[in-house]
């Protein structure tokens, strides 16, 4: 389409996602699963076929830089990169939005608002960009404007956030994590369905599961060290959070889940698991089989959509 002149010469605008990243089943640069897949010849050839007057926008959220082969084929390509604000930068952004709306909001209210809307994801992005669900700035802007109107003529306070911002959808994610990492897989399955029915998405849920496994595995290996010390060594934004993970690991260690998580992540990158839902269910099913849970009885989900298997 991008190589064909548009009707009456008006020009075409095409937007393509994951053209170079090879989201499903591309060959990697080398044998290391963590390497970014090399762009295929067909993908590179598209850049040389853009007809005059047409515009091609390529969105690559999983790439931190443009592959050298792309720059070689299209030296005139325009590169735009941008990362949504996180941490202190996001707090400043919210403060600026409140000021633009004709009011103000203190830092404690901002933190409370972000914890309600984007718990566990607004401080920093996950290590794997594919599992990143950044804060929705449009939604956040609307919430700030609503709070400003509610609090007028006062400044927005933490009590205003508690009164006006709904948190039921996000709050249910943490009981699900507690059930999963506590070894209650059948209960986790039921809670997962509630989380998804309330509007959450598989990518965010999977990111939380992966993040807790990443934190629990070194915590369990660091016997004798305090959870807070391990959290600081891992550069966790809130090291005190490690105490909750440590309490969960006492009854049901998370380290055995690491193998299942790594396999699910590898299968997703290779294209055997097509999306976050399949990866999440693969981890949960592996836990169910280890605990003696009948997958056919407890897990009422669609069959995995495997490729070439």
Summarised one tens digit per residue, pLDDT across range 54-103 is 888 888 877 767 777 787 777 778 888 777 899 999 999 999 999 999 99
Which residues are within 8 A (CB) of 268 and not within 5 positions of it... i.e. 6 or more apart?
Answer: 130, 274, 275, 276, 278, 279
Q: What are 78's two structure tokens?
A: 């325009």
CB 101 within 8 A of CB 145: yes
Quick: pLDDT tens for 201-246. Answer: 788 788 888 888 888 888 888 877 888 888 888 887 777 778 878 8
Question: Which residue has tokens 């053209």?
Answer: 19
Q: What are 172's two structure tokens?
A: 């249910």
The reported pTM is 0.44
- Give me the pLDDT at residue 289, please: 57
Confidence of residue 129 (pLDDT cuts 50, 70, 90): low
- Give me the pLDDT at residue 130, please: 63
Q: Where are the alpha helices (DSSP H) in the chain?
A: 41-47, 68-73, 87-100, 107-117, 137-151, 158-164, 168-171, 173-181, 185-197, 202-221, 227-233, 241-251, 255-270, 276-290, 295-298
Return the closest-CA partner of residue 102 out of 165, 158, 153: 153
Selected residue with higher pLDDT from 280 and 63: 280
- Give me the pLDDT at residue 291, please: 56
Return the closest-CA partner of residue 191 out of 173, 205, 203: 173
CB 210 within 8 A of CB 226: no
Which residues are within 8 A (CB) of 26 and not within 5 positions of it... i.e. 6 or more apart?
Answer: 37, 38, 40, 271
Per-residue b or e along 159-177, where b marks 16 or more CB atoms closer than 10 Å to that residue's CB: ebbeeeeeeeebebbeebb
Which residues are within 8 A (CB) of 48 and not within 5 positions of it... i.e. 6 or more apart?
Answer: 73, 74
Domains of the chain (ranges; CATH) run 7-73 (no CATH), 87-166 (1.10.8.60), 173-298 (1.20.272.10)
- Give me the pLDDT at residue 286, please: 79
- Give me the pLDDT at residue 228, please: 87
C-alpha to C-alpha distance for 188 and 173, rounded to whole angstroms: 10
Confidence of residue 255 (pLDDT cuts 50, 70, 90): confident
Residue 251 scores a pLDDT above 80: no
């Amino acid at each position: 389409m991008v190589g064909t002149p548009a009707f009456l010469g008006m020009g075409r605008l095409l937007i393509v996602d994951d053209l170079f990243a090879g989201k499903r089943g591309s060959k990697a640069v080398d044998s290391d699963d963590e390497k970014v897949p090399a762009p295929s010849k067909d993908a590179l050839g598209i850049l040389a076929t853009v007809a005059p007057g047409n515009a091609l926008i390529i969105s690559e959220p999983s790439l931190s830089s443009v592959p050298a082969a792309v720059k070689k084929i299209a030296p005139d390509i325009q590169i735009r990169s941008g990362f949504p604000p996180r941490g202190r930068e996001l707090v400043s952004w919210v403060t600026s939005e409140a000021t633009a709306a004709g009011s103000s909001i203190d830092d404690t209210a901002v933190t409370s608002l972000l914890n309600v809307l984007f718990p566990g994801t607004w401080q920093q992005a996950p290590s794997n960009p594919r599992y990143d669900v950044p804060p929705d700035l449009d939604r956040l802007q609307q919430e700030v404007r609503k709070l400003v109107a509610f609090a007028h003529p006062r400044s927005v306070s933490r009590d205003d956030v508690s009164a006006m911002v709904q948190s039921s959808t996000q709050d249910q994610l943490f009981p699900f994590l507690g059930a999963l990492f506590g070894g209650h897989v059948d209960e986790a399955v039921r809670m997962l369905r509630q989380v998804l029915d309330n509007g959450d998405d598989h990518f965010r849920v999977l990111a939380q599961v992966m993040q807790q496994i990443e934190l629990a595995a070194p915590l369990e290996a660091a016997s004798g060290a305090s959870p807070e010390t391990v959290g600081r060594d891992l550069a966790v934004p809130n090291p005190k959070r490690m105490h909750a993970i440590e309490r969960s690991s006492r009854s049901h260690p998370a380290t055995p889940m690491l193998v299942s998580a790594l396999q699910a992540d590898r299968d997703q990158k290779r294209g055997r698991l097509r999306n976050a839902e399949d990866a999440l269910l693969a981890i949960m099913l592996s836990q169910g089989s280890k605990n003696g849970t009948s997958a056919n009885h407890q897990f009422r989900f669609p069959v995995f959509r495997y490729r070439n298997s």
